[in-house]
Amino acid sequence: MISYLLSTAANVPVTPMWTPQVAGIIAGSSIVSLLLTTKIKYPNIGPKMPLVPISIPAFVGAMCFGHILGIGIVLGLTNIGTL
């Protein structure tokens, strides 16, 4: 079992160093996910954000989804050797 885990450890993609390009990917995916909040059925339930016309829970959820999406993009680009 341990030999199997050690053999698969070599196949795990290495995360890149934090660069402005990685930050741009994360920020872009967060903005896209924030724009997708217009498709939420009830985006205004709860306390409102001061500058954005959505609620705080919708904003936090969009940012979480954007970061998860951005991490997937960064790891995928790193794995194929583009980033």
The pLDDT of residue 29: 96
Question: For the chain, what is the domain count?
Answer: 1
The parent domain of residue 53 ranges over 18-79
- Whether 9 maps to a domain, the answer reads no
50 within a domain of the structure (yes/no)? yes
Does residue 75 fall inside a structural domain?
Answer: yes
If pLDDT is split at 50, 70 and 90, which confidence band does 1 have? low
User: What is the chain's Cα-based Rg?
Assistant: 17
Q: Does 67 fall in a domain?
A: yes
Is residue 11 one of the residues assigned to a domain? no
User: In this structure, is residue 6 part of a structural domain?
Assistant: no
For the stretch 26-60, pLDDT in tens is 999 999 998 888 787 877 788 888 887 888 888 89
The CA distances from residue 2 to 6, 8, 46, 53, in Å, are 6, 10, 48, 52
Tens digits of residue pLDDT in 8-31? 666 666 677 888 999 999 999 999
Can you give the pTM of this predicted structure?
0.76
